[in-house]
Chains A and B, each alone.
Chain A
Amino acid sequence: MKIHIPKEEYMDPGHLACSGCGSPLGLRLALKALGEKTMIVIPASCMSVIVGPFPYSALKVPSVHVAFATAACSASGIRASLDMQGDGETTVVAWAGDGGTFDIGIQALSGAAERNDDFIYICSDNEAYMNTGIQRSSATPYLAWTTTTPVGNLKERPKKDIMAIMAGHHIPYAATACVAYPEDFIRKLKKAKDMEGTRFIHLLSPCPPGWRIASDEAIKVARLAVETKVFPLYEIEHGEIYMLTYQPRGIPVEEYLNQQGRFRHLTDEEMATIQENVDREWNRLMEQCEGATRRGVSRLAQ
C-alpha cells in the first residue's frame, strides 16, 4: 500500500522551534494525517512555545493549552463535550512531551486509558525536559548526559517502558513512530483515526541542543535510532497483538551513540552494555511479535 503525504498544511511556518527540531515536523505530519476536523490539546512542553505566543498561533486547527499534568484528562473533557453536542466526528488529539507523558502526566494518561476515553494521544519524546533546559526525565536513556545527570552522576536507570505500560491498559491501539519515517507515522495515525477509544503513539523526536547534535542531523540520528534497534517501530493492538512495522538493519548501537554529544563520555564497556540491553529488548519484542504471529497475525504489519 502506497502512502501519500497529504499536501494540506495545518501548521504554518514561522513557529518558534529551535532549528532542526523534530517536534514541529512531527506535528505538521500528524495534522496532515488527521485533517482539518481535529482539535488539539497541548500541555506544558516545547510545543507550548513552538506554536507561538498570544495572539498568534501556527496552527490552523483549534488548540487549547493546558496545565502540565493534564493532557489526557483535558482530551477526555473535550471529547465528552463534543459528544454532548452531537459531534462524534472531530478527532481529539493530545500532544505532550516525554515529561508530560512518562512523568507528571502519567496518572491522568493511565486514568483516561483505563476508561478507554476516545482520543489520540501523541507523546513527542525527545528524552528529557528540553524546554526547561535539558533535565533528565524517566524517558532519558541509560547513561545519557543531561544537566541534572552530569558526567559523574549519569542516569543509571533504563528508560521507562511506556509502551508496555500502555499495553497493560488494553487500549485498542499503541504504536511507536519516528519523525524520520513519515510514511510509517502517517499510516499509523490514519489507522488510529479509524479506531475508537484511547490510541497512543510514542513518537521519537530528536532535540539538537539536548542531544548535542548539529541542527541538520536530527533526521539522520533519528533514523539511526531505528536502524540500530534502539527504537523499533511497531504497534500493539488491544495490548496483546504486537507487530513490527519496519525491519531495521540492526547496525551496531555505537553508530547511533557516537553521533551524539550526550553520549560522548561512554566507554567501550558501557557501549557494549548498551548493545546488550538493546539486543535483549529487541529479542523480547520479537517474542511478543511471534506470539502474535502464532495467533495468525503477520509479523510485519502492512
Chain B
Amino acid sequence: MKRVLSGNKAVAYGVMLSRVQVISAYPITPQTTIVEELSRFCAEGELEAKFIKVESEHSAMASIIASSVTGSRSFTATSSQGLALMHEMLHWAAGARLPLVMVNVNRALGPGWNIWTDQGDSLSQRDTGWIQLYCEDNQEVLDTIIQAFKIAETVYLPIMVVLDAFFLSHTSEVIEIPDREEVDRFLPRFEPQYRLNLKEPQAYFGLCSPDYYMEFRYKMQRGMEETVEVAKRVDEEFGRQFGRTYGIVEPYRCEDADVVMVTSGTVTSTSRVVIDRLWEDGIKVGLLKVKMFRPFPMEEIKGVLKGVEKVGVIDRNISFGHGGIFAQEIRSTFCNEDERPMVFGFVMGLGGRDVTPEVIEEAIHVTLDNSRPKEEILWIGLKG
C-alpha cells in the first residue's frame, strides 16, 4: 500500500508494523508527531500496546528498560535536549543488553534554543553502547525501524534510528507501507533469552565488581563487532522479502571518481543531485553514504575509499576542540593503513542552516582544487 507520509508518520507505521508492546515517550519538537500518531494507533486499536505517558525523557528510557527486561518489545522516540536528558539511561540500556529501538530526530542542542536539524545530539551519545543508523529518506526510516528490531533482538544491543529534523520528520513523501503479515513473517514475536520471571527468580543489573565488569564490557564490544554482519544479513533478508535494501554504507558513482564525498542523513540526497550534475560536466565525484555510525563499519569504508586520493567528509556537527565527528572517524579508520586518502573535514549546516546544492558543490571544489586541506576544519557557509 502506498501512502504519502511524513518521516514522523513513517516512524509510527514502522513501530506499529513491528508490533511494539510498550511505548514510553515525552513530547519534544520535532519528535512530537511521532507520539501523537502512536497515541492514535493505540487509541484506535491499530496497535495493541501500553503507552506510558511519562513526565520526562529520563523516565521514558528508564521505563522501557524495565518493560524490555520484563520481556516486551519496547520503543521510545526523542530529540535533542530529550536525548541529552536520557544520557544516563542510554548507558544503562546498552549495559543491560536490551534490544530497544529508539528514534532520534536530529535537532540542535541549546543554548540558544534551536529546533532545527544538527547531528550534535545523537553523536554526543556515541560512546553509550547504542547502535546508530542514519536515514536518508522516509521509506528508509520506516524500513530501518523494522530492521532495527530484528538486529537488536539478535545482538542484544539497543538501536537508535536517526532522521533529520523537518527535512524528514515533517516532509511528506510517497512511501510503500509493507504488508502486516509480511512484516510478521520477517519479524516474529520477541522471545528474549532472559526476562524477569517468577519461576526462575534472578537479580538483574546488580552490583558488579572489578572481577566481572570488564568481561561484560568486552562482550558489549563483541556484540558491536557482530552487529556489522548481522545488519548486512538482516538488510539482505529484508531486500529479498520487500525488494528494498540500503546497506550499512552505500557507495554512489564511486568508480573512477577522483574524489569521494562522505555524507549521512538528508545531505546525502542533495549530494546525489549535485554529483549527477557534476558527472555531466565531466567532473568525477563519488559519494559514500554512511548509514551505520556505530559500530563504525571500518572495513566496508576502507573497501570503498581505499585507493581514493582525496575524501571530503561533510559533518553537520562538531566536536569542539577537534572537528567534525564523521571526519575524525574516517581519519582514524585509515591511520594504520599504508595507503590512505587525504581527508578534508567540512563542517556545515549547524543548527539547521540549509545545506544547499551550492554549498555542497563548494565543498567538492575545495576538495578537488587542493592537494591537502588548508585547515583541519573547513567551515562552509560561515558568515562574516
Contact = CB atoms under 8 A, between A and B. Distances in A.
A and B from one assembly?
yes
B233 interface: no
Interface residues of A, number: 45
B366 interface: no
Nearest to B203: A57
A39 B196 contact: yes
A57 B202 contact: yes
Nearest to A84: B21
Contact of A80 (B52, B197, B206): B52
Interface stretch (A70-78, A203-211, A235-243): A70-78
A80 B22 contact: yes
B198 A85 contact: no
Contacts of A66: 62, 65-66, 92, 205
A77 B66 contact: yes
A63 B198 CA distance: 10
Nearest to B50: A80
B8 interface: no
Contacts of B58: 69-70, 108
Contact of B69 (A52, A64, A85): A64
A41 B65 CA distance: 12
Interface residues of B, number: 42
A72 to B, nearest CB: 8
B201 interface: yes
Contact of A62 (B53, B62, B88, B196): B196
B63 A74 contact: yes
B208 A80 contact: no
Interface in A5-55: 36-37, 39, 41, 48-49, 51-55
B64 A70 contact: no
Contacts of B266: none
A111 interface: yes
Interface of A: 36-37, 39, 41, 48-49, 51-57, 59-67, 69-70, 72-78, 80-85, 90, 107-108, 110-111, 114-115, 117
The 6 closest A-B pairs by CB, nearest first: A77-B66, A111-B55, A77-B63, A81-B70, A70-B62, A57-B203
25 contacts: A39-B70, A39-B198, A41-B66, A53-B206, A53-B207, A57-B201, A67-B62, A70-B59, A73-B52, A73-B54, A73-B59, A73-B60, A74-B65, A75-B66, A77-B22, A77-B62, A78-B67, A81-B21, A81-B68, A81-B72, A81-B74, A84-B48, A108-B55, A111-B54, A117-B52
Interface of B: 21-22, 24, 48-50, 52-56, 58-60, 62-72, 74, 88-89, 92, 196-198, 201-209, 212
